[in-house]
Amino acid sequence: MTEPIESRETMLRDVNAKPRSTVVWAAALVLAALPLVISVPLATDILIWGIFGMGFNLLLGYTGVLSFGHAAYFGLGAYASGLAMRYWGAGIWAAIAAGVAAPMLLACFIGALAIRRRGVYFAMISLAFGQMLFFLALSPLKHITRGEDGLTHIPLAEVFSLPLHKPVPIYYFIFAITTVMLYMTWRILESPFGRLLRAFRENEERAKACGYNTTLVKFFTLVLSALYGGLAGALNMLYLNYVPLTTLFWLTSGTIVMMTILGGKGTFLGPLVGAAVFLFLQNTISLWTPRWELFVGAIFVAIILAFPGGIMGTIRTIVNNRKTARLQKRAPAVPSEG
């Protein structure tokens, strides 16, 4: 054996390599160039749903909690920011802040009430809350939310004298925020909390036996994912200059589940890839048939059968298998010390 001091240092280096943010900047580069390849509105949708998905993925992909009412956070973010701009003349940053804060408060409430419920029970409770919000906006609060018509007459927004109602400026505005969120997500996943989430994804029971308060972890993650959902909703409001009632509809909740699973739950880029593939298919197929849901559904089934872990999840499995094969090949050369 080599002298222990030196080998200890190399050991620490190989098990605990300094994490590199390359993946964040590479993804940002691709997103920056996206409007050159596909239409700007489609690219904008991908960013908004990508942010929504990143937050949803933290919850579903890591803690395994299925929220089937995530439209509540998305829609509430959109309405809160839209109402703030329309009725209180809030500036764009204040509106975004309102669009983030309101869903986080809602998540605190739902979480305190229901996060201990497992699996399908939590999914049902979250769905019920989502539908409650939908019907609230539809009729009792109609005089504020404009009910079925959706929230209109939101003043046009400007940032640093960029007109945000034009497609390209709003795209790059949302792109900047997406990059920040990508970086934030990456930092979180590399932090002790993020490492815990990864462990949680692998085995919740073991994490609990290690002394982690798993209920608290789920609660925090729910609130964190509401932050992303609310932000995505607020950006959607800025982009459309309008809040359609459908942002609160259960179909929105279903779509984010599909996108996340399609891209690969529990992977860093999965939600973004899932949103991109889903929206691209929807966009392309709806050009030649109004029954696009049928085809997107069929393709969804086909992809999930071919890639059980979602697109990025399957890629990760392949990479991991290669790595394992390499390590196993090398193993006999290093005699294990008895």
Partner 1 sequence: MLLRTEGICKHFGGLRAVDGVDFTLKEGQLKSIIGPNGAGKTTLFNLIAGVYRPTAGKVFFRDRDITRLSLHQTSRLGITKTYQITQIFPGLTVFENVRIAAQSRVSAFNFWRSTHSFAPLNERALEILRQVELLEKRNWLASTLSHGERRYLEIGIALATEPQVLLLDEPTAGMSVAETAMCAGLIRRLNRELRLSIVLVEHDMSVVMGISEEILVLNEGRVLAEGTPREVSDNREVQRVYLGEEKYA
Residue type, 52: F
- Quick one: which of 270, 258, 259 has its CA closest to 311? 270
Q: Which stretch binds partner 1 (CB under 8 A): 57-65, 75-83, 85-93, 201-209?
A: 201-209
Residue 150-189 contact track with partner 1, rule CB under 8 A, x = bound: -------------------------------------xx-
Rounded to 5°, angle at Cα 51 from 285 and 130: 85
Q: Which stretch binds partner 1 (CB under 8 A): 12-20, 84-92, 129-137, 234-242?
A: 12-20
Using the rule CB under 8 A, is 52 a contact of partner 1?
no
- What are the residues facing 158 on neighbouring strands? 163
Using the rule CB under 8 A, is 336 a contact of partner 1?
yes
Using the rule CB under 8 A, is 329 a contact of partner 1?
no
Q: Which stretch binds partner 1 (CB under 8 A): 25-33, 169-177, 193-201, 289-297?
A: 193-201
- Quick one: which of 91, 8, 54, 85 has its CA closest to 226? 54
Number of H helices, E strands in the chain: 15, 2
Cβ 172 to partner 1 shortest distance, Å: 27
Q: Which of 139, 191, 318, 322 is in the footprint of partner 1 by CB under 8 A?
A: 191
Instruction: End-to-end CA distance of the chain: give it in Å, rounded.
Output: 13
Cβ 80 to partner 1 shortest distance, Å: 24
- Collect all residues with Cβ–Cβ distance below 8 Å to 63 and sequence separation of at least 6: 197, 200, 201, 204, 217, 218, 221
- Quick one: which of 223, 199, 219 has its CA closest to 209? 199
How many residues of this chain bind partner 1 (CB under 8 A)? 46
Cβ atoms of residues 309 and 317 within 8 Å:
yes
Q: Which of 2, 22, 327, 329 is in the footprint of partner 1 by CB under 8 A?
A: 327
The residues in 57-116 that bind partner 1, with binding defined as CB under 8 A, are: none
- Phi first, then psi: give them for residue 243, nearest 5 degrees: -120, 105
C-alpha 262: how far from chain center: 13
Using the rule CB under 8 A, is 201 a contact of partner 1?
yes
Specify the residue, 224 or 279, whose C-beta has the smaller distance to partner 1: 224
Footprint on this chain of partner 1 (rule: CB under 8 A): 8, 11-12, 14-19, 187-188, 190-196, 198-199, 201-203, 205-214, 216-217, 220, 320, 323-324, 327-328, 331, 334, 336-338
